[in-house]
Structure 1
């Protein structure tokens, strides 16, 4: 006897409440994570809103200035008046001398404006209670360190993958999406997560990869939102949305025996190598007969 599959709309109310509570909680958490990105990475260039420059400054750094200057013109801009920020930057550009640190009043500004957050009790922030703690940040801004990337990478890998595992598990009980599309939707967040973290390291090496950070983040968010929305709709509004509102046309399309767009693309991908092989052979022959002798002749000259 074939066991009837579990579907979201037929779950008992306690399970629905459990799943809904989890989805709503991680959804709110995801929203706050995006807001946090806007107020950290999004302020790296001194302007609100995430841009490619923000990504470059965060991971590769702004090699035209120091870390302290970039922070004072970026994320920390609102924490001190312009006159005090300029005074600190002037001290940094003059060589960040230890004697001038006290004589020019820099220590007083730092103690007043910075130490409230940057102290020995703030484990995730540098300690600015002493000049020794501040001094490393007067050097050239090279972005995130490899040590910090290592720490953040493994935390994100472990933490976010668990979120996607449970969201994907709930979504796997949906019935308005074919198994093929469900596999894609469940697998894509992990692909984008790895791509996102890999892009941090690549951007640290070369700023050209900053676009990959944004694209991977967008892909991860899109996958999450798709599974999140479908799961909640099926649990609570299945008849309203998928039957009455769509007049069952979506379900008919889902159950159609016609090959889907993904099927067609996959079939094309499987036949593509056999179609390209003759072209590759011809191109190789032409290269050997005509192009390579010409190139070799140029080198001999």
Structure 2
């Protein structure tokens, strides 16, 4: 009898299922993280084209600091203090005004996270770092894009390699559809990563970011559902001899 998901031994099914469940939870947490970071770039919850543009191309009519205060950092300070910082930015970011009026707010609201010990976050104990972000918002830097791109390319490729390996044992999916489902996450991953760089150069490519991420998600859900169905539900619908073989393999 050919080896497939429905006639795997119980231990192997538990191994595969445990992996798929943990990966699904991780995928859901990753979506939440996107919603709370990129999804707040325009100050409104939920991912939109504007969020993508602001995250990668930037809001070049304003500064990074202003965009963050109206977006993902909006809930970290009362409106009166946020508006005071924004007005300081729009007035040119004078150092003397900063020391007198803005620095106490920064120390109270921001330094707890933005300090020299916080990896990946700008150090707001240094005026130069704050002043730099008071300039025109140019979106993601090429250095940050390179760093995040190589992490996603390696990490997500490994995830889909194992998900695809499990799905490859499905018996109820036509060969061409199975092959397409296995390769599509890699196609959409490359589209997603490439669209970050293209959107950095031109905001008209922002839609490709959503298409790339959405395509990966759909491929993942399809392979996940089919794999779990064939491991745990399909064996109960098999003719008795096949069902007995599926249940007795170990």
**Deviation per CA, 1:190-225, whole angstroms, max 9, x where unpaired?**
000000000000100100000111111111100000
Residue 5 of structure 1: how far off its partner (Å): 2.8
Aligned positions of 1:37-56 closer than 5 A = 37-56=34-53
1:116 aligned counterpart, secondary structure:
coil
Aligned positions of 1:1-301 closer than 5 A = 4-104=1-101, 106-239=102-235
Alpha-carbon separation, structure 2, partners of 1:16 and 1:127: 48
1:138 aligned counterpart, secondary structure:
coil
Which TM-score applies when normalising by structure 2? 0.93
Residue 243 of structure 1: how far off its partner (Å): 6.1
Q: Which structure has the bigger radius of gyration?
A: 1
**Deviation per CA, 1:122-160, whole angstroms, max 9, x where unpaired?**
111111112122121011001000000000000000000
For 1:270, the equivalent position in structure 2 comes to none
Residue 239 of structure 1: how far off its partner (Å): 4.1
Alpha-carbon separation, structure 2, partners of 1:53 and 1:135: 25
**Deviation per CA, 1:26-80, whole angstroms, max 9, x where unpaired?**
1000000001100000000000000000000000001110000000000000000
Alpha-carbon separation, structure 2, partners of 1:128 and 1:17: 48
Q: Is the 8 A contact 2:57 2:201 kept in 1?
A: yes
Higher relative contact order (CA 8 A, sep 6+): 2
Alpha-carbon separation, structure 2, partners of 1:35 and 1:243: 39
Alpha-carbon separation, structure 1, partners of 2:141 and 2:94: 24
Which TM-score applies when normalising by structure 1? 0.78
Residue 165 of structure 1: how far off its partner (Å): 0.2
Alpha-carbon separation, structure 2, partners of 1:150 and 1:214: 19
**Deviation per CA, 1:227-273, whole angstroms, max 9, x where unpaired?**
01110111111145x669xxxxxxxxxxxxxxxxxxxxxxxxxxxxx
Consecutive aligned runs of 4 or more in structure 1 exceeding 4 Å deviation: none
2:21 aligned counterpart, secondary structure:
helix
**Deviation per CA, 1:70-113, whole angstroms, max 9, x where unpaired?**
00000000000000000101111111111111112x11111111
Alpha-carbon separation, structure 2, partners of 1:9 and 1:86: 61
